[in-house]
Structure formats: C-alpha cells, structure tokens
Chains A and B, each alone.
Chain A
Amino acid sequence: MKLSDIMDIAASGLSAQRARMTVTASNLANAETTRTPEGGPYRRRDVVFAARPLPGGFRGEIDRALRSVQVDRVIEDSRPPVTRYEPSHPDANAEGNVLLPRIEPVEEFTNMLSASRSFEANLLVLRKAREMGQAALRIGR
C-alpha cells in the first residue's frame, strides 16, 4: 500500500490497455485479410485480462488483497469466417466465395475507445500518485 505500489498497479493497467489497443488495431487493419501464413483468413483476436496479486512476500492483509492487472491470454475468434460472394477476388474459391474475418469495424472502434479511456484513467492514477508524493515531501520542510 505504498506509493510505489500504486505506481506499479497503474503501470500494469497501462500495459494491459495498450495490449488491448494493439490487438484492436490489428483487428481493424486486418478486417479484410483473406490470406495468412497459418492459412485461411485472419482471425479476430481479443485479450483476456486477469487480476494478479502484487509480488513480494511479507505483505500485510491489505497489501495481499491488492491486485494489478495482466493480459492472461490472447484468444482467437473460434467462430467460422464470414463468407462473401466475390468471384473476382484472388482468394475466391470455386464457387466464387471469399472467406473473410468476422470483424465489425464499429465494434473494434468501440473497443479502441474504451481501451483508450481506461488507459487515460490509469495515467491519471499515476499522476495522482506523483502528486501525493510531492505533497508528502512538504512534510519535512
């Protein structure tokens, strides 16, 4: 429950949200990607967050209850790809269908916005912690 703990917690939030933004950007960039090294169209990715206790032993009861955040795993959309009739497409099959990622730009934009807001929120936590540190320094003056 020290000020440095607060900074660590906020930093974990920044990392996690940034990972989420990266994955969302990747989804947006690959909304029309029909060809990947693994074969088949791009599959939408998502991050799953998990709360983690702070490192270090001998912490008090309150400290042990504190949680930072981490990207637990990146999951790929398991749903089947979208089929679109486009016979002129280089990756169209014999029936003229193209397999496309199941990505909705609106949904991704919403995610991006949410992640960016949460990122800003953690930035504010960091700033407030620094202000508290500066306020504390006045005690000795």
Chain B
Amino acid sequence: MDALIGKAIPQLEASLRFREARQAVLAANVANIDTPGYRSADLKFEDALGAAVTLSRSHPAHLSDAPEAGSAYRLELGPRGTRPDGNGVDSDRAMIQLSRNAGAFSDQAEVLARLLALARIAVTGEPR
C-alpha cells in the first residue's frame, strides 16, 4: 500500500511526531524561565550520520516507513546562564520557538489530513 500512498505521508507522520516531542522540550523551557541554573534545551532530528532522514525501504507487511517516535532525536542544551541565578532561558526566543513549532505542527497536520483524504480516494477507487 505504500506505493499508493507515497512517501509524503510517512514523512509527514514522522515530522508530526518530532514536532510534538520538540514542543514538550520548548514548553519545559518556558516553565523554567525563572528556575535557577536551568539551561535552555532544544530537540533536533537527524540520523546517526547527521544527515536529514530520508524514508525509503518499502516492506509489504509494513504500512509505515516512518521511524519510530524517539529515534534519531537529539537533545541540545543551550549555553549556561549569564543571569545571577544561573538561568539560561531567553524568554523571547523561547516564545518564538514555541509558537513557530506549534504552527508548523498545525500546518503539517492539515496537509497530512488532505493527503490522507486523497489516499483514501486512490485506495478505494471511489470519489469519497
């Protein structure tokens, strides 16, 4: 069935999982905006070779080529804080990252929804 639904759908699924995980990391930054000694964190998505993950390998029994949630994620800590209490969160940057990530998630969810609707048509051969 993968040939029918194409690569975009598994890629979007993987991206949504990643952005959801990243949102939690960014939320922790905001919650700890005033915590002494806390360092800002971010999440990156790459494979062991440091390259952007491409999804291939079609196995008939598998429906998804998307990597398992949690694979190829890398947690990145920001610099140590310069404030007297040691906190290292830049609140403006934290808010912007958070808003952007949430927006990307929403956009991708919408695109996935539409691709799935198209895939349903392709799979059943019927308009709805």
Which residues of chain A have a CB within 8 Å of any CB of chain B? 1-3, 5-6, 9-10, 12-13, 16-17, 20, 48-51, 60-63, 65-69, 114-115, 117-118, 121-122, 124-125, 128-129, 131-132, 135-136, 138-141
Contact = CB atoms under 8 A, between A and B. Distances in A.
Contacts of A16: 31, 34
Given A66-B28, A117-B91, A136-B105, 5 more contacts: A1-B69, A9-B28, A118-B91, A132-B106, A135-B106
Nearest to B38: A51
Contacts of B110: 135, 138
Nearest to B22: A1
A55 to B, nearest CB: 14
8 contacts: A1-B25, A49-B32, A49-B34, A69-B35, A121-B30, A122-B31, A132-B20, A138-B110
Interface residues of chain B: helix, strand, loop or mixed (majority):
helix
Interface residues of chain A: helix, strand, loop or mixed (majority):
helix
Most chain A Cβ neighbours within 10 Å, of B35, B112, B116: B35
B53 interface: no
Interface in B7-42: 16, 20-21, 23-25, 27-28, 30-36, 38, 41
Given A60-B70, A135-B109, A67 B31 contact: yes
